[in-house]
Amino acid sequence: MKKVLLLAAVALGLSAVGQDAMNSRLLQTEITPTSAAKEKVEDILIKRGGALDANYDYTDFLYQFYSSDLTLGAITTTPDSSTVIIYSDGTPGYSYNHAVGAVYDFNYYGWGANEFNETDQVTIDSLFVVGGYDIFNSSDTDKIRFTIFKGANDFAAPFSGVQYNAGTFAALDPAAQATMKTMDYAGSTSDGNQGGPTASNTLTIDYTLSAADTSVAVVGVEVPNGGLTMNGNELLGIFIEYLPGGNTTSDTINYQTASGDINPFAFYYYREGNTSAPQGYFIQDYDSTSTNCSNFLFNTTRYAAHPTASAWRNDQTSVNSLYSHLIWVAASGTSTMTVQDADLSTVSVFPNPSNGVVNVELNATTSAAITVVDVLGQVIYSSNTSFVAGQRQMIDLSSNAKGMYILSIEGEGVNTVERITIK
């Protein structure tokens, strides 16, 4: 368990937040990329075989990609939609956020793709989430519940979500239950049924909150029985919910008066700029084909008495990685990565950043496939190119929007992934 190391990392990113985080309806702060974050991003692009034991997250990946164009939010979570929350500015709102979740892929280029082969066995040792906890009622015993599972690396695999009882729709207490489900939507667009089968072979771990977890807290649990083992080509699903010790039905959480029948817990998340969108995330390889990951559910549902349409979306999943809860995974295993950088051709990509016109140069004569994808995983450029040692090949991406892209070059004697920026 690597909670001590993780606490240091969290302190670096959240020290400016402190106690005020729980008293803000939407806390926003600029994030400055750190040298450690940049080094970590560079490190994951190096193939490293052998024994590995590390914390896996992609917060540093976002630091590098989006720099200070990130804001920090705190989202209060309860098991139902009848709880009223009065924020520090006095405005009330219903709790329509019931859980947070993530799906991780060790073959995603921004996570562990260059550390484990698809056939390597990976052991999930510990899980961590960052949030804030306020105690209004000291007699309650509150818990954070982690549920984890694994599945095949495709869109038939189980994904984290919230499932509602049949017949649940507007103005009715949905009695939400945290379950795993598939990505495919099989519900009705008229009555708010989420539908879809649930995942099997799940593992649940409870963490009992205490006064030590108030303000900014790192909640960490070890996975029992030696951890959860999976292959590098499987998906890891993590579902995290807050279980108050008191009754949440028709309760009021009042941040102005620090009162309520239950103690609020808020999960922290990062989001890009000031964009309003579901807070969650989706770490899947960039060759995924689904086009509706961010909002694949119906958009007209109203739960409880919340007045607006599309007030809550079931999975809170974003394929572009811009809405991320702070969830970490400690994993270990023996990597069979055997490709040494010294044995590969040297690749130069310049200028970077550029205006969209990029030069690629190899120190060897060979044929290779060049592919460029955006952060949504969409291929924007693809070409089979014959390289002559020392001669540059030009790629014109100037018709694409400004932002970050991933360029990969694969062929005999060459295998590289580079981040490129169009300004």
Query: Helix/strand/coil (H, E, C) string of the chain?
Result: CCHHHHHHHHHHHHCCCHHHHHHCCCCCCCCCCCHHHHHHHHHHCCCCCEEEEEEECCHHHHHHHHCCCEEEEEEECCCCCCCEEECCCCCEEECCCCCEEEEEECCCCCCCCCCCCCCCEEEEEEEEEEEEECCCCCCCCCEEEEEEEEECCCCCCEEEEEECCCCCCCCCCCCCEEEEEECCCCCCCCCCCCCCCECCCCEEEEEECCHHHEEEEEEEEECCCCCEEEECCCEEEEEEEEECCCCCCCCEEECCCCECCCCCEEEEEEEECCCCCCCCCCCCCCCCCCCCCCCCCCCCCCCCCCCCCCCCCCCCCCCCCCEEECEEEEEEEEECCCCCHHHCCCEEEECCCECCEEEEEECCCEEEEEEEEECCCCEEEEEEEEECCCCEEEEECCCCCCEEEEEEEEECCEEEEEEEEEC
Q: Are residues 265 and 395 in the same domain?
A: no
Q: Are residues 208 and 289 in the same domain?
A: yes
Alpha carbon distance 25, 276 (integer Å) = 13
> Given this model, what pLDDT does residue 201 score?
65
> Given this model, what pLDDT does residue 410 score?
84
Q: Are residues 349 and 309 in the same domain?
A: no
Q: What's the total number of domains in the chain? A: 2
Q: Are residues 345 and 254 in the same domain?
A: no
Q: Are residues 118 and 231 in the same domain?
A: yes
> Given this model, what pLDDT does residue 47 score?
52
Q: Which of 202, 152, 170 is nearest to 304 (CA)?
A: 170
Q: Are residues 180 and 131 in the same domain?
A: yes
Domain that holds residue 284: 3-335
What are the phi and psi torsion angles at 7 (to 5°)?
A: -60, -40
Take residue 353 and report the two structure tokens written for it. Answer: 């950043």
Q: Are residues 104 and 66 in the same domain?
A: yes
Q: Which of 184, 194, 189 is nearest to 314 (CA)?
A: 194
pTM: 0.62
Q: Are residues 58 and 130 in the same domain?
A: yes
Q: Are residues 366 and 323 in the same domain?
A: no
For residue 375, the domain's CATH number is 2.60.40.3080
Q: Are residues 289 and 384 in the same domain?
A: no
Mean pLDDT of successive 10-residue segments in the chain (423 residues)?
Answer: 28 31 31 43 53 70 52 74 82 74 64 71 91 88 86 51 40 38 32 35 87 82 93 79 79 88 83 44 35 27 34 35 68 73 66 89 88 77 90 91 81 79 82
> Given this model, what pLDDT does residue 185 score?
29
> Given this model, what pLDDT does residue 28 score?
30
